[in-house]
Amino acid sequence: MKKTLLPFRIFLVLGSFLLTVLLYIDRTVISVAKDDISGDLNLSATQFGWIMAMFTLGYALFQTPSGKLADKFGPRAVITWIVSFWSALTALTGAAWNYTSLLIIRFVFGGGEAGAFPALAKVTYSWFPVRERGIVQGINFSGSRIGAAFALPLIAWLISLTGWRHTFALLGVAGVIFAFLWYLLFRNRPEESSIISEKEKEYIISNRQQQDKTAAGRLSFSTIIGSGNMWLTMLQYICSNFTFYFTLTWMYPYLKNRFALDGLEAGFFAMAPLLAGAAGNWFSGIMVDYLYRKLPLALSRRIPAVIGFVLAATGMMMMAFAESPQVSIIFLSLAIFGADMTLSPSWAFCIDIGRENAATVSGTMNMAGNLGAFVTIIAFPYMYKWTGGHETFFFICAGLSLVAVAAWFFMKPDKTLEPQTNQ
């Protein structure tokens, strides 16, 4: 049988891709609306930094709990619930009346979005053969970058047309519609679906990673954090997110203010690094699967990640010397292409070592990464305040990427996390 995606899995990948598009549109819109929100609510740059950071803090803290829920109840129910919940919080963001209310709403919003990628990791584990794991993860993460990229000019236009409050309300409605369709069409495992053909069902079951139902939901947090393998996984993901989250949060206002661009012009410039990130996800996903067929498992994960971090370090180092929006975008696109090359191997690695507990393990990695992102969001305005320039921030991003390169040489995807037998 051909080693290609069959019809229902293509449909499922499209659904998960659209989920990540929605996820990042809803997350990115506040960056585009910065000037309008700050003007209406009288917010300073550092206050707005804390608002964006509070989302990331909530997102980070609820990663592992959300992953455990996905492992226990399945991604069908969990994704339906969290998309509905965060969509309500998207709409509620448009009703914020002051700084404090926005801090609280964004923290809860972040907690609501937390389970999306861990739950999708469980979908990948249950529905896709190991040989397809890299490209599936690459497609999923490319959706988040494409969603964020097109959100920048689109949301800028929509805000100018309807205002920032109505824009958040419209996005909330779109999310509720998606949640309904997901619950209607998706099932936790191919064995439970009446839509998939018997031929494809047999192919998935015979080629996916061996499943152990007794392990589901039994991997304790103490077991996870007691693993040196896991600490390295979290460290390298912190380094990746430290670079990427600049693009997701401060890139748009940075370009707009640094080079005196109007909103729409800044939005189109800011699309390029995010689209480069999408390309990096696809390229890395294909590479992971190709190398899996040719080389040992560890190298199929390590090689794309190391290449990606070297490119990220190079791009962020050169950002410190860029003197025009065009040059800045070229180097930032290189950096984000590289940083996003690390995502497919990172999440494939978590599924490798987590198996039935893939959502819990990947959620823990994502928790650590987003705590790093929280620091990024806060550090960027404060470093400028303290140093009078952005160069130090870009140098730190480059240095962390090199730390991640070293971490990958000690990570072992074949060393699975085993649940405690006495639980």
pLDDT in tens, 3-53: 444 468 888 988 899 898 888 888 878 878 888 999 999 998 788 888 988
Q: Which positions ≥6 away from 243 have C-beta within 8 Å? A: 312, 316, 335, 336, 339, 397, 400, 401
Radius of gyration for the chain, computed over Cα atoms and rounded to the nearest angstrom: 20
When pLDDT is cut at 50, 70 and 90, the band that residue 372 belongs to is confident
Chain mean pLDDT for the chain: 86
* Helices 116-127/358-387 angle, 10° precision: 140
Residue 20 near residue 140, CB atoms below 8 Å: yes
Structure tokens at 161: 């047309």
Domain boundaries defined on the chain: 7-189+223-408
Q: Top-level CATH class of 7-189+223-408?
A: mainly alpha
pTM: 0.76
**Tens digits of per-residue pLDDT, 216-267?**
456 777 888 888 999 999 999 999 988 888 887 778 778 887 887 876 777 7
- Please provide the DSSP assignment of 120-167 as one string: HHHHHHHHS-GGGHHHHHHHHHHHHHHHHHHHHHHHHHHHHHH-HHHH
